[in-house]
Amino acid sequence: MLIDRTHRLWFWGSVIGLAVGLAIYIPYAHFTIGGARGGTIIGILYGIVGFGFMVFAGLLSLRKRFPVWRMGRTSTWMRGHIWLGLISYPIIFLHSGFSFGKGTLTWWMMVIFTIVIISGIVGAMLQHYLPKVMTKQIPYETIYAEIPVIRGQLLDEADVKVAEVTGVSMASSAVTSAAEDAGGVIVTLVQMEEDVRNELTRFYNNELRPFLEKSGGKGCAIAERTNSVAMFANLKTLLPDEIHPVIADLEGICEEKRELDQQIVLHRILHGWLFIHAPLSLALLVMGAIHAVIALTY
């Protein structure tokens, strides 16, 4: 989500709320016998407010799970999640008297809370900047779920183009059979020497096709753009000019596949932080509820 002008009220509301909390805390900590701590009336109020903000931030996942419920816009919930979740951290510190607590439960709560806040900040930064990077570096960005389908289409297109100029079927990872016409002559769009045909099929089966077949380019030299440019340039020097348009098409297919792989990497970076943030947030809310029950009961 972009942090833009629509966040202005939330930002200033958070700043003012935190300022009020600090203004109350200073005399409270100074005049309270034994200092500020969670068990005092004001300390409990800080805890209620901070935990309430944490619960609101945690309800975003519930709002997303049931989008048909009329509970406000998702964008509003997202802004509240960001700013109320962020301000809950210093408020909980005001509740505890700027300590990680004295018990094991409270200590681990603050450790997990710190990780949740840091991962949330990192996630907000990624959500703000990474889509711009994706738009710039991947001009033909596609729907993430459709990437395997598009990769298969690129592979089929490359198979057809190579078969058209070599007369050899590329329906599997190895050259399987010659495509013959009714008279038993190999059908090609361009007549070429046997060694030239073998060079093209070798390049395709050993370099390009393995890259197109799988997600990612690990282990494929052609996955690197610099290597790819050099390899295709070298191929053009070995093949007749009539085939150069086909080579250019194959190079374009290779570049499209490279962009798909790059989109996968950026997508994983964009959403990977949630595997830390989401489960720890849930654990934090459960621990917070347990802490509140224990504190108010005993």
Say what the pTM is. 0.78
Displacement of CA 95 from its chain's centroid (Å): 35
- When pLDDT is averaged across residues 186-214 and rounded to a whole number, the result is 78
Would you state the structure tokens that stand for residue 228, as one six-digit string? 């790819």
Residue 112 pLDDT more than 50?
Answer: yes
**Residues recorded for the chain:** 298
Question: Is the same domain home to 277 and 259?
Answer: no
Contact 14, 87 (CB under 8 A): yes
The tens digit of pLDDT for each residue in 247-278 reads: 999 999 999 999 999 999 999 998 899 999 99
Answer yes or no: do 152 and 131 share one domain.
Answer: no
The whole-number pLDDT of residue 187 equals: 42
Least trusted range by pLDDT, from 116-125, 138-147, 182-191, 221-230: 182-191
The single residue listed with the structure tokens 């997303």 is 64
Residue 284 and residue 253 share a domain: no
* Residue 117 sits in the same domain as residue 218: no
Q: How confident is the model at residue 191 (pLDDT cuts 50, 70, 90)?
A: low
Assess whether 182 and 249 both reside in one domain: yes
229: confidence class by pLDDT, cuts 50, 70, 90: very high
Residues 72 and 180 in one domain: no
> What residues form DSSP beta bridges with 178?
168
pLDDT band at 230 (very low <50, low <70, confident <90, very high): very high
Structural domain containing residue 225: 144-271
Statement to judge: residues 155 and 117 lie in one domain? no
Residues 239, 208 within the same domain: yes
CA pair distance 175, 292, nearest whole angstrom: 69
175 & 96 share domain: no
Count the domains in the chain. Answer: 2
Residues 60 and 205 placed together within one structural domain of the fold: no
Residues 110 and 152 in one domain: no
DSSP string of 12-75, one letter each residue: HHHHHHHHHHHHHHHHHHHHSTT-S-TTSHHHHHHHHHHHHHHHHHHTHHHHHH-TTS-SS-HH
Residues 107 and 223 in one domain: no
- How many angstroms separate the Cα of 15 from the Cα of each of 26, 88, 124? 17, 12, 18
